[in-house]
Amino acid sequence: MRQITCPVCFTPPKIPPKALHRVECNSCGVNWTFIPEAIDSESLYRDEIYAVVDNRKSIFERIIFSEARKILKKAHQSHPKAKQLL
C-alpha cells in the first residue's frame, strides 16, 4: 500500500513530507499519512495477535451485551417516543 496523495480528493502535497508523517491536504483539509514506499500489509497481520477469536457465548459477549442494554435503556428513557434508537 502506498499513499502519496490525499485519499479524499487525490491532491498531492505541495512539498513531499517525510515518510509516515501526517499531512494536511491543501485542498480539502483532511489529515492523512504520507506513505511513499509500498507496505506489505499481509506481513503486518500474520502475527497470531490478529487472529480472529470467536467470543460468542463467552463472558466477553455477556459484558458487551450487558453494556449495550444499559445504553439502549438510557437512550429509551431520554427519547421514549423515538421509533428507533439506532
The count of structural domains within the chain is 1
Residue 86 has pLDDT above 80, yes or no: no
CA dist 16 and 54 (Å) reads: 43
Q: Is residue 16 part of a domain?
A: no
- Residues 21-67 have pLDDT tens digits of 999 999 999 999 999 999 887 777 777 777 778 888 899 999 999 99
Give the structural domain span for 58. Answer: 22-78
Q: Is residue 73 part of a domain?
A: yes
- pLDDT band at residue 7 using 50, 70 and 90 as cut-offs: very high
Find all residues with CB under 8 Å of 6, minimum gap 6, and list them: 12, 23, 25, 27, 28, 30, 32
- Residues 59-79 have pLDDT tens digits of 999 999 999 999 999 998 998
Q: Is residue 86 part of a domain?
A: no
Residue 84 has pLDDT above 90, yes or no: no
